Amino acid sequence: MLNVVLVTPEIPANTGNIGRTCVVTGARLHLVKPLGFSLDERALHRAGLGYWQSLDVTIHESWEDFLIAAGPDARLHLLTKKARRTYAETRYQDGDYLVFGCESVGLPEELLAALPECCERIPMLPDAASLENAASWQSGTPADHRALLAQDVCGNFVNPEDYRISALNLSNAAAVVLYEALRQTGFPGME
């Protein structure tokens, strides 16, 4: 079984999408507090997360608590845009932990610095090559920028301060890496 770890996730819809992906792939979801949303039954029901009871989910009070639970031999894969090695260059094994940071800032710098050999990235095109309307982000009024935000490709998170794609959104990134790990570990139908 593969493990998906979300460190201080902020957006409930992303966690919900990742949880749904974990349910259909048999992966275990780990949430590391603090969370940017509530997991009480009422909040889950309101978010339409009716499958939550089918999800294998563990909630950890802190990164340190997660590391204790994972054990000293845990194979961690820290997904960040600040890595040389790509996720596709990695060899995954059953039981690995795919670790993602929060939506706004990713994984903490001190964590990346402490475990540089565990860092991996998802290759992406530069903003100018991936956004059809990239030139429009460089000019215009704030009202124009809000309108363009709705036109962004693939639902990627756009940093409203500089109007560039900063990365795939969290649920897309988790799915990309999880499915590669599943392919490598022999998930049925992915031969």
- Specify whether 9 is located in the same domain as 94: yes
* Stated pTM of the model: 0.79
Tell whether 32 is covered by a domain: yes
Distances (CA, A) of 14 to 8, 126, 138, 168: 12, 23, 28, 11
The sign of the torsion formed by the CA atoms of 76, 78, 83, 85 equals positive
pLDDT at 13 over 70: yes
| 19-59 per-position pLDDT tens digit | 989 999 999 999 999 998 887 766 665 655 677 788 899 99
On whether both 106 and 162 belong to a single domain, the answer is no
Quick one: 7 and 79 in the same domain?
A: yes
- How many Å apart are CA 186 and CA 191, to the nearest integer? 7
**HEC secondary structure over 9-39:** CCCHHHHHHHHHHHHHHCCEEEEECCCCCCC
Contact 2, 28 (CB under 8 A): yes
Residues 135, 145 within the same domain: yes
Domain contains 143: yes
Quick one: 97 and 129 in the same domain? Answer: no
Average pLDDT over the chain reads 80
Domains held by the chain: number: 2
Q: Residues 133, 105: one domain?
A: no
Identify whether 190 is part of a domain. no
Q: At what angle do helices 12-25 and 170-184 cross, to 10 degrees?
A: 20
Is residue 161 very low, low, confident or very high in pLDDT (cuts 50, 70, 90)? Answer: very low
41 and 98 together in one domain = yes
Q: What is the CA radius of gyration of the chain?
A: 17
Q: Distance between terminal CA atoms of the chain?
A: 17
pLDDT exceeds 90 at position 178: yes
- Smallest CA-to-CA distance from 96 within 122, 71, 77 is with 77
Q: Which tens digit of pLDDT belongs to each residue from 54-102?
A: 889 999 999 999 999 999 999 999 998 888 899 999 999 999 999 999 8
Domain that holds residue 120: 3-124+169-184
What mean pLDDT is predicted for residues 105-113? Answer: 90
Tokens of 150: 């709705």
Residue 64 lies in a domain: yes
pLDDT of 149 higher than 90: no
The CATH number of whichever domain residue 102 belongs to comes to 3.40.1280.10
